[in-house]
Chains A and B, each alone.
Chain A
């Protein structure tokens, strides 16, 4: 299986949302602040459900925030 990476723009979206705090985003998305911190550092990839909830907080599409970066995937 090819190695893939999911990048995100959570930090930028928080900034654009009036410097929303990590804690506020965590509470609204239903995860811990630690998880938001790790996601912003690209050290944690969220589940699809959490990714949708985060996109929902920013009223954006999931692909606006999360980006799949990887080699061509193998089936």
Chain B
């Protein structure tokens, strides 16, 4: 398995689990409106995202290319896939942030304010969206055998 594929799979798993765990904490009990007021939920959210970054960093370290590796772990096709996945994920994250902001505006425009808990959600979920979308797109491009010179 190439480094690109390995990293895409593990990135998807790590951030998928983190997103699921954060969603449970965020929508738990009193829901988003009280998220910012309940310290333990804010703390749990922070621990989840910290663990996400910790495991992600560990995964990058463990899947690095070592000088003595027998097989070539990454080549021009992988670079191309990664570049295209990151470029596409960038657009998707922009669309996601814009869409969520508009949805919040539509939902709360009558009351005149947005519960601050939703700002936490926007902040955390942007990270999840970036990592998950780039890994999924990389896997799709890998599956489609896309890369340099493909139409």
Contact = CB atoms under 8 A, between A and B. Distances in A.
Interface in B44-82: 70-78
A31 interface: yes
Nearest to B149: A45
A12 interface: no
Interface of A: 3, 6, 23, 26-27, 30-35, 38, 41, 43-47, 49-50
A31 B70 CA distance: 12
B147 interface: yes
B72 A32 contact: yes
Interface of B: 2, 70-78, 145, 147-151
Contacts of A35: 75-77
Given A3-B151, A6-B149, A38-B145, A44 B77 contact: yes
B71 A34 contact: no
B61 to A, nearest CB: 21
Given A27-B72, A38-B145, A43-B145, A32 B77 contact: yes
20 contacts: A3-B151, A6-B149, A23-B71, A26-B71, A27-B70, A27-B71, A27-B72, A30-B72, A31-B72, A32-B71, A32-B75, A32-B78, A34-B2, A34-B77, A35-B76, A44-B149, A45-B149, A47-B76, A47-B149, A49-B76
A44 B72 contact: no
Q: Give me the 6 closest cross-chain CB pairs, A-B, nearest first.
A: A45-B149, A31-B75, A43-B145, A38-B145, A35-B77, A32-B2
